[in-house]
Structure 1
Amino acid sequence: MDRYMIISADGHAGVPEGGYRQYLESKYHDEYAEYLKGYPPGNGAHRKSLESLGGPVFGKKVTQETEAQKEVKAGGRVGAWDPDRRIKEVEADGIVAEVLFPDGSLQNNAPFFASSMPGSYPYELQAAGARAYNRWLADFCSKYPGRLAGLAVITIHDVEAAASEIQWAKQAGLMGVIMPASVGDSGDLPFYNHPRYEPIWATCAETALPLHTHVGSAVPDYGGLPGARLIFPTESSWFSHRPLWFLLWSGVFERYPNLKMVFTEQGSTWVSDILPRMDSMYNGLFRDIQETLPLSPTEYWERQCFVSAMFRDRTERDARHDIGVTKMVWGSDYPHVEGSWPHSVKTLHNALEGVPEEETRAMLGENALGVYGFDRKLLEPIASRVGPTIDEI
């Protein structure tokens, strides 16, 4: 095929303006109505997020520049909750399929911040919000089977309930799981190396649903203090990286060799830094760990882990061999302001021009095809119609 099959492993979906109400158990409707009051008119960030960061993450200039794009002015972001519009927008951007995450601090997000701010609402409400989001998402993805890979949100205060929700997600056709990136710091829940989480790892491995962390999940409350909105993006990726070493050093990857883990929208070059350091520990002063972990950190990474790149520039491209060409997937981040939509082909050309075709195919589509189990026979005809040509990338 003379075109690339591009799969975005980082998209965002959710419905605003109280759209989860029909999916939420009726006993929580009053709390949901109160929760929605925290949003300003339109679809801005929730009061809790604004109070933590001292204002919106992005300033007025960036927001105005984004809103001025003709695709945005034409309503292109409606694809966050309209599957027909979504397919139209991503096909125009050269993409044949997507992996879908919740939508940050906006109304589109899972109710009660189920996916992003553990403990910001009572856990019972957050679990109900996760279930409502997951059921909405399953309906959303069912409109285009095999092209929209939804990720189930789980809350982790009740691990048996989380395991049951993962089983439900598998039966409902969802194709992965997203968990809070960071726990343990507040003292409310233990770190991920605690045995209590074993049912979650076991169920993800059993169902073959990849486990994910995403940037911006479970970061601290910054109290609206000076610099908070820049401190947040500076360090939020680190919180999303942490499950790698918690799960690896505590033996989770050894116990569950079929468990796949994907690190999304948190950069990728950090992998080429942390793995050599962990390998040095494994082979050096801490080599006694080899008695219980027969593989090195790099070997566990190569067997079970993946990282999503955005390829905004050539930095990630130049590090691809240290990260692992077969370990990288790509995401447009549609419809977020920091993503490459609606100029993904141009962005990828600027970053990947000169990369061998086989490597480009792997990072832009083939790797994701394997991680999520997309159907090649379904996607290749679509790629032959909407995918960019070899020369365009």
Structure 2
Amino acid sequence: MFVENRYLTHPYYEPLWAELVKLDMAAAVHATPGLNNPEWTSHGPFIEKMKGRLSKRSLLGDAGGGPFAGGGGSAFTIADEPLGHSLSPILSYWLDNYLFAASTLLGYGVMNRYPDMKAVLAHGKATWMEEVLEKFEASTRVIALQHHYPVRTDAEEMWEEGKIMLGFDADERGVRKMPERYGDKVVWGSRYPNQDTMSAWEAIDMLRASNIDEAVIAQMMGGNAAQQFGIELVQTVGV
């Protein structure tokens, strides 16, 4: 999340965005929970701290007053049974993708200044983008983030015009129900043969079962990725 103590919204990264466009190279961004990272280089440790607070109650808070009302760490805090599993692997992928796409690419106008910049946000699901656009459009109309650059407030239009693609899984209902919205915005990826994913053939079967056009399935399952990464597809038939 941070390089040399600078977040991705910093002007420090402008030469990187410009060089990506110049080289016609796609930036592949992979969200990670960062469970073992230092706190300010990943959201994982912060989320685990919040998880720890979920099992604590403040007696002063229950009484309705005091500086630690609401679950502080005073001597009047008691602990309930803690949650038995980490939350970071569940939440951090979406949070990291959300912040990269929303605050950097949209909020600080990278997609506006570099409309030909290509990026793929891998292994982070795709349908979270609906909430990003909904919340972000409302926020930019309240406070325009013009610290360094003019910022467009039409996040939806900027997203549609941009060359940013999202990794997706075939079990995402939003993608299957709205292929017209995601058909040219997603690339399929897999951690097969791990148990928490599926093979390409299983993904194709699931998309076909949702009555998605074959040409759109071909885009989702390889065509978009080939275009984004500059790969020429060659069809082979096994005997």
Q: Report the counterpart of residue 2 of structure 2 in structure 1.
A: 183
| SS, match of residue 266 in structure 1 | coil
Inter-CA distance 319–233: structure 2 relative to 1 (3 Å threshold): farther
Q: Deviations over 1:307-327 (max 9, x none)?
A: 0111135443124344x3211
Of 365, 377, 382, which aligns to 2:222? Answer: 365
Once residues 229 and 305 of structure 1 are traced to their aligned partners in structure 2, the CA distance between those partners, rounded to angstroms, is 33
Instruction: Give the stretch that moved more between structures: 219-228 or 191-200.
Output: 219-228
Mapped to 2, the partners of 1:245 and 1:210 lie a distance apart of: 18
Query: Secondary structure at the residue paired with 1:274?
Result: helix
Distance in 2 (CA, whole Å) between partners of 1:250 and 1:216 is 22
| 8 A Cα contact 2:109 2:152, kept in partner | no
- Matched with 1:254 is 112
Deviations 1:190-241 (A, max 9, x none): 2211111222222222222211221325433348975474301221121232
- The aligned residue for residue 211 of structure 1 is 27
Shift, 1:259, TM fit: 1.1
The amino acid that maps onto 1:236 is: S
CA deviations on 1:21-71 (whole Å, 9 max, x unpaired) are: xxxxxxxxxxxxxxxxxxxxxxxxxxxxxxxxxxxxxxxxxxxxxxxxxxx
SS at match of 1:326: coil
Kept in 2, the 8 Å contact 1:212–1:264? The answer is yes
Aligned to 2:179: 320
Q: Taking structure 1 as reference, are residues 288 and 318 closer, same or farther at Cα in structure 2, changes over 3 Å only?
A: same
- CA displacement at 1:287 relative to structure 2: 6.7
What residue identity is the alignment partner of 1:363? M
CA distance in 2, matches of 1:315, 1:251: 26
Post-superposition offset of 1:335:
4.6
**Which AA in structure 2 matches 1:234?**
I
Question: Greater CA radius of gyration, 1 or 2?
Answer: 2
Could you tell me how far apart the structure 2 residues matched to 1:227 and 1:288 are? 38
Could you tell me how far 1:267 is from its partner in structure 2? 1.1
Runs of 4+ in 1 over 4 A off after TM superposition: 222-229, 286-289
Cα distance change of structure 1 residues 299 and 308 upon mapping to structure 2, 3 Å threshold:
same
Identity rate of aligned residues, in percent? 21
C-alpha deviation, 1:333, in angstroms: 2.3
Cα separation, partners in 2 of 1:314 and 1:240, compared to 1, 3 Å: closer
> Are residues 1:274 and 2:90 paired?
no
Kept in 2, the 8 Å contact 1:261–1:306? The answer is yes
Q: Is 1:355 matched up with 2:219?
A: no
Unpaired stretches in structure 2, ≥5 consecutive residues: 35-41, 53-81
Aligned residue-pair number: 192
Give the TM-score taking structure 1 as reference length.
Answer: 0.43
Please give the residue correspondences for 1:1-393 in structure 2 after superposition, counting only pairs within 5 Å.
Answer: 182-183=1-2, 189-216=5-32, 218=34, 219=42, 220-221=44-45, 222=48, 227=83, 229-237=85-93, 238-247=95-104, 248-282=106-140, 284-286=141-143, 292-294=150-152, 296-302=154-160, 303-312=162-171, 314-322=173-181, 324-341=182-199, 344-353=200-209, 354-376=211-233, 379-380=234-235, 382=236, 385=237
Letter of the 2:163 partner, please give it: Q
Q: TM-score, normalised by structure 2?
A: 0.68
CA shift in 2, pair 1:210/1:229, >3 Å: farther
Q: In structure 2, the residue corresponding to 1:292 is in which secondary structure?
A: coil
Tell me how far apart the structure 1 counterparts of residues 172 and 6 of structure 2 sit (CA, whole Å): 38
